[in-house]
Amino acid sequence: VLTVYKTSRYDPLYTNSRSAMSTFTDRYRCPQTWDPSLGAAKPEGTASIVDLQIELTAAIPQRRESGDFRCQMDTVGILVCYNGNWVKKDNIESYEGGEAKGIIVSRNVTFSELVERIYKIMDAEPTKYSVTLKYSVPVSASVSKQIRVEDNDDVQYFLKYNTDVMASKVTPLVASLKNIEGHGIEGCNGIVSVESSNAPATFVVERRNVAISHNETENGGNGFNWSDWVEEVHFESGENIVADFNQPSNEEEPYSAPILHPHEDSSAEPSTVQCRQVQSEPPRQSSSSEMHTIRVDSKHGESVEYIGYGGGLSCINWEANLKVGRVYPNKIALLKTISLAAIRGHFRFRTVQSGKRRFCVRCWQVPCPWKLRAYKVGLHEFKVVKYDPLHECDLRFVSSHHPQATAELVSDCVKWRFQDSRSIYTAADIKTDVKKKFGVSISYSTAWRSRELAFKTMRGSAEESYSLLPSYCYELERTNPGTLTYIETDAADHFLYFFMSIGACIRGFKSSMRPVIAVDATHLKCKYKGVLFVATAFDGNRNIYPVAFGIGDLETDAAWEWFLRKLHCAIGDCSNLVVISDRNVSIQHGLRRVFPGASHGICFYHLKGNMKASFHLKQRDPILGYFIRAAKSYRLAEFNRHFSMINNERVRNYLLRAGVQKWSRAHCDGRRYNVMTTNIVESINSVLRFARMLPVLHLIDEITNLLLTWFSQRRDLAMKCHSTLCPDLGEQKLRKRLDAASRMNVVKINDVEYNVLDGDLNGLVHLANRSCTCRKFDLEQLPCKHAIAVCRHLNLNPYSFASSYYTRATWAAAYAESIYPVPPKGTWVIPEHLNNVKILPPVCKVMPGRRKMQRVPSKGEDSRQKKCSRCGVKGHYRNTCKQSVPLKN
């Protein structure tokens, strides 16, 4: 038997035969040829990978030198005892019971080889159990110490201890098995007894299938569900599947040469030559993820070693899903599983055959025996019929860019990120996570396409969203009685307008809300763009109370008039109705046609921005301060005083042309209830800033779910409230005014009128009309400080003079009804006439470039730059400051 060992790339070749001429070609893509005239191996430059070829042609003297090839293998005998128990008596531990088995191993046996042999003797599977080796050493005559065997050094010391130190007495080595999860297995303890033997021997190991995985999947051996498997691919949850690569080790593992694999006919008889590659000592691992070496003989007879990591190398765990007999729902699921295994295993594969009934892939490096073959067994299912998990790839040709890391595969791994519409997960985040979790670099375009595919998978397409809109509205009206939905299309069935008002919101507004509505529109960021119309009110606790929503193409006269007409159908004619908006001319035209009896108010904040931009006013210009104070004034005299201080004639004329009765509280001909801005609508737009990127159907669903949550939360708050008025508005204002009212003097005029002296403009209170000359009592319908002073003077209850809109009972009644979500699409029961209705996406011109995600600032809007009060640097605030500030003396 000729045994050949190669120890270096360019060292001369020596054998144990007196008549041998060798031509040695290793797998470093740099072949060497033995030259008898030179007496050394001669490198020949770059060539294709070939296998080891040895021919016996000439007589070469046998030589043995340190570091060269060795012709003999010293062996030792080991007696393996197992299924016993440790017994401790008088500080001396002994092993009793169990069974015994004798084996012979090389004197240079590694820890991984020894563990693999013990697994075989004990008939245990490395995929399920981890082994622990111990032996007992007498420290003194009455005390013994147990020593663990965990690496190659421990094995060599154990052999040295038995053959040299304790040559006349056998020291047992104890092995115990535990499952991977750490639960002890009964009857898995054992002792290994070592006996010395100097007889040379050569061992031939039969070829067998190698189990690469050390973690069985939950789906079992034959069933497989790709959707369930993708759930385990989550970047965040992948840590419980893929082991940590950064585990500390005693030493670094040097680069080792690839395993030699000869090119010979598959039907040839096994060769008598054994080629064993010397492996470096593996890193030290924990018992739950022990690295072991599995020796495998190919059908050509050479003995090779495959290194497997129990829970260490992540590719092994992923290839556990590739098993002979496993059935996949379709070819795509099988291909994705193979791709995931290839990415995690850092190898590539190519498709050999892909047809309707069969699918075959193999490793892209030709000498590597890894391959998989599957056949169609059902209507769509594919079953793995052949699988060779052994890898012999050259690691020097592993690239950071993996061709199997396609956008489709990455999208399946990241789609769970888009379950929440508020999550921000960019293409750059995908690139970072793929690099971190898979060790693969993908391009930005691949990350972007994977994000779009994942978004489409979770949210559907924009076109499908418009086609399902009639069915969704039907289910929304069915689950929420009284809900109004309208859809407007053109002659070609292209989408134009949409309106929605939930029945609970309509009834709550009519019964419990102040007659003040703020309307505004915001732009959508979805594929077909458009605008979202919003109409909201204020409840008695200063909370936003949405009334209606609409979708249109642009803020045109026709769009606003259509939305306001549908709003009028929902709320009807309201007395003393006040509608507040910005200075959009289309809103004013629509209000004159639809709500002729309503008062129109302008948001003074928008008016201030327009004025600032039109006249180039500075941020702290006194004119802006006088304007704000004049707009918020209740008394006419107070308004005139502040307005007269605006010394710019052009600004004064601009404000007068805008209509003083629209932006001034003192001139308003209706009760604005202190609602001076459209900030409530801006707040709605801010809450829906992420939902506005979704297709139309999902946007409406997000709005419905938002209203559902608000109604539920505020209903609970109202039930827990014990005050007479709402705590955040009516109760809070009366308590603030009580302090000033306690210092005022009240002079009675008659039974219903009282003059209250406050030291300034005083106040004439009329209790029967619930009015005061300060006009706060009139406009807010809450007792002002003068009215509270009168109530204190007459021992009256001030709560009785507050409007019912501010009471806790009205607040609770506004949210008494529940809003129900639309059931899943699969449970819809739609009439036939609605199923035949098809709505096409709107006709719009898509502009080049990316869509803007940030809101465009309004004209004249303040652009304040952040400045930290801690370090003085601009760009951030104190609470997010990360600058190091030196300590002051």
Question: What pLDDT was estimated at residue 119?
Answer: 82
> Which residues, at least 6 apart from 186, have a Cβ–Cβ distance to it below 8 Å?
none
Is the Cβ–Cβ distance between 603 and 581 less than 8 Å? yes
Among 210-219, 703-712, 860-869, the minimum mean pLDDT is found in 210-219
Instruction: Print the SS3 string covering 432-463.
Output: HHHHHHHCCCCCHHHHHHHHHHHHHHHHCCHH
Give pLDDT tens digits for 791-826: 999 999 999 999 999 999 999 999 999 999 999 988
Phi, psi for residue 500 in degrees, rounded to 5: -145, 130
- Write the DSSP symbol of residue 14: -
pLDDT digits over 135-181, tens only?
777 766 667 777 888 888 888 887 777 766 665 566 777 777 777 65
Q: Which residue has the tokens 């209740």?
A: 634
| Confidence at residue 186, expressed as pLDDT on a 0 to 100 scale | 37
pLDDT over 80 (residue 398): no
pLDDT at 657 over 60: yes
Percent of the chain scoring above 90 in pLDDT: 32
Give the best-scoring range by mean pLDDT among 51-65, 102-116, 565-579: 565-579
97: enclosing H helix or E strand: strand 92-106
- Kindly write down the DSSP assignment for every residue of 686-755, as one continuous string: HHTTTGGGS-HHHHHHHHHHHHHHHHHHHHHHHHH--SSB-TTTHHHHHHHHHHHHTT-EEEE-SSSEEE
Q: Is the pLDDT of residue 54 over 90?
A: no
Task: Report d(CA 760, CA 737) in Å as an integer.
Answer: 16
Tens-digit pLDDT profile for residues 599-653 = 888 888 889 888 888 888 888 889 999 999 999 899 999 999 999 999 899 999 9
pLDDT digits (tens, 9 = 90+) for 412-450: 888 888 777 667 788 899 999 888 888 888 999 999 998
Residues 6+ apart with CB under 8 A from 513: 537, 538, 539, 545, 805, 814
Alpha-carbon gap, residue 187 to 178, rounded angstroms: 10
> Per residue in 324-348, pLDDT tens?
988 999 999 899 889 888 888 888 8
Q: Is the separation of the CB atoms in 599 and 577 below 8 Å?
A: yes
Taking CA atoms, 391 is separated from 193, 213, 556, in Å, by 35, 13, 66
CA 648 to chain centroid: 56
Distance linking the first and last C-alpha atoms of the chain = 85
Could you count the other beta carbons within 10 Å of the beta carbon of residue 16?
Answer: 16
Query: In the chain, how many H helices and how many E strands?
Result: 25, 30
Query: Is the pLDDT reported for residue 293 higher than 50?
Result: no
Cβ pair 749, 756 in contact under 8 A = no
